[in-house]
Amino acid sequence: MSSKASSSEKVSSSEKAELEIYKGAGGLKKVVLRDFSGYSAEVSLYGGQVTSWKNKRGEELLFVSSKSAYKPPKPIRGGIPLCFPKFSNNGSLEQHGFARIRFWNIDPSPPPLPTNSSYKTFVDLILSPKDLLPNDKTFWPHSFECRLRVALGLTGELLLTSRIRNINTDGKPLTFSFAYHTYFLVSDISEVRVEGLETTDYLDNLQNKERFTEQGDALTFESEVDKVYVSAPTKIAILDHAKKQTFVIYKEGLPDVAVWNPWDKKAKALGDFGYDEYTRMLCVSPAAVETPITLKPGEEWTGRQKLCAVPSSYCSGQLDPQRVIRGN
Ligand code: BG6
């Protein structure tokens, strides 16, 4: 997605990098991060959602549907929606929680960056109860701060850091699930392998969340998939053979990984998904789902995902996925 800016204003969030805010598709404001080498990312204030991540050649790395509505209260279909405070469609809150369908703010007092950080281009956003709708507060009556830092690294890696703090004054704990519901852009889903989840247990949403163990082979895709891998490794690779490109996902604080592709019939039923777009996307989402996170008042949780896009040959020598996983 790269929508033309119709107006812009500038904010300054770091001494080293100048941030720009544009009005994007649907008039939704987005922050554009640009690195001096040419890498870039866009973050919509609607949902605190990354909607674009480009390499230095300007090639898009994330999938956003051409049919996405960009119209609240619908979530933007693609990029990296944040699922908080729940991941699923059970209970009274909206499917995948309210964070992806509320307007976030630029964080006026973000936690400081470590002094040796190589992430100089970043934006800090915050969502708190004042940004919610009355219904959200009825079903989730908590005081909290949900912070998101989106940062571009020196070699174009995209780092998302979330910090959630319980500021309840009534002594109540805060319990939530969380996911970075990341839509990767792939050349052709039939050419894609996911490495790192072999032998991991998963809950299959297409089979009443029954628990199975993944077999020894890499994941390949021939039909709808909707699974949550539990206690998954911290490093996972998506190998795109046609593009000779590998996405490497590093995660922290997020034990699980959801893997989703709607395939043709479900994609049609979604309404905001192009007819054959399922062939060009795969969601691999670091998450905390099986065991929700509970914070006592005053406690804070931090979760991270780092995404790198590297040529497969560079990473593995011979498109060897095992070496992608084991190497660094
Ligand atoms: C997945 C869920 O994570 O997200 C699926 O497991 C769901 O069941 C999919 O269909 C997309 O959800 P949504 O709300 O963005 O259409």
Query: What residues contact residue 243 under an 8 Å CB cut-off, 6+ apart?
Result: 186, 187
User: Is the CB of residue 96 below 6 angstroms from any atom belonging to ligand 1?
Assistant: yes
- Separation of CA 154 and ligand 1 centre (Å): 32
**What pLDDT is stored for residue 83 in this prediction?**
98
User: Is the CB of residue 273 below 6 angstroms from any atom belonging to ligand 1?
Assistant: no
How far is it, in rounded angstroms, from Cα 54 to Cα 42? 9
Compute the average pLDDT of residues 255-260.
98
Write out pLDDT tens, residues 158-186: 999 999 999 999 999 999 999 999 999 99
Query: What residues contact residue 21 under an 8 Å CB cut-off, 6+ apart?
Result: 8, 9, 10, 11, 29, 30, 31, 32, 45
Map residue 178 onto helix, strand or coil.
strand
How far is it, in rounded angstroms, from Cα 300 to Cα 144? 10
**What pLDDT is stored for residue 1 in this prediction?**
35
How far is it, in rounded angstroms, from Cα 67 to Cα 271? 8
Which atom belonging to ligand 1 lies closest to the Cα atom of 81? 15
Percent residues over pLDDT 70 in the chain: 90
Does an H or E element contain 175, and which?
Answer: strand 174-180
Query: What residues contact residue 276 under an 8 Å CB cut-off, 6+ apart?
Result: 264
How far is it, in rounded angstroms, from Cα 34 to Cα 161? 18
| Atom 8, ligand 1: residue with shortest CA distance | 226
| Atom 5, ligand 1: residue with shortest CA distance | 226
Write out pLDDT tens, residues 205-233: 999 999 999 998 899 999 999 999 999 99
Q: Mean pLDDT over all residues of the chain?
A: 90
Does residue 19 or residue 73 have the better pLDDT?
Answer: 73
Write out pLDDT tens, residues 45-88: 999 999 999 999 999 999 999 999 999 999 999 999 999 999 98
| Pair of tokens at residue 127 | 């969502």
Mutation probe of ligand 1 site: the residue of 88, 90, 260, 278 with most atoms within 8 A of C-beta: 260
Q: Does the structure show a pLDDT above 90 at 285?
A: yes
User: Is the CB of residue 88 below 6 angstroms from any atom belonging to ligand 1?
Assistant: no
User: Is the CB of residue 260 below 6 angstroms from any atom belonging to ligand 1?
Assistant: yes
Look at the alpha carbons of 248, 2, 151, 130 in this order and tell me if their dihedral is positive or negative.
negative
Q: Does the structure show a pLDDT above 60 at 288?
A: yes
Nearest to 290 by CA among 193, 181, 221, 209: 209
Write out pLDDT tens, residues 90-146: 778 889 999 999 999 999 889 887 777 889 899 999 999 999 999 999 999 999 999
Compute the average pLDDT of residues 21-39.
94
| Atom 6, ligand 1: residue with shortest CA distance | 226
Mutation probe of ligand 1 site: the residue of 84, 177, 205 with most atoms within 8 A of C-beta: 205
**What pLDDT is stored for residue 122 in this prediction?**
94
Q: Does domain 16-185+253-306 have CATH number 2.70.98.10?
A: yes
CA distances from 234 to 177, 216, 229, 257 (A): 18, 18, 12, 10
Write out pLDDT tens, residues 230-251: 999 999 999 999 999 999 999 9
Q: Does the structure show a pLDDT above 70 at 291?
A: yes
User: Is the CB of residue 227 below 6 angstroms from any atom belonging to ligand 1?
Assistant: no
- Separation of CA 309 and ligand 1 centre (Å): 24
Contact status, residue 304 vs residue 150, Cβ threshold 8 Å: no
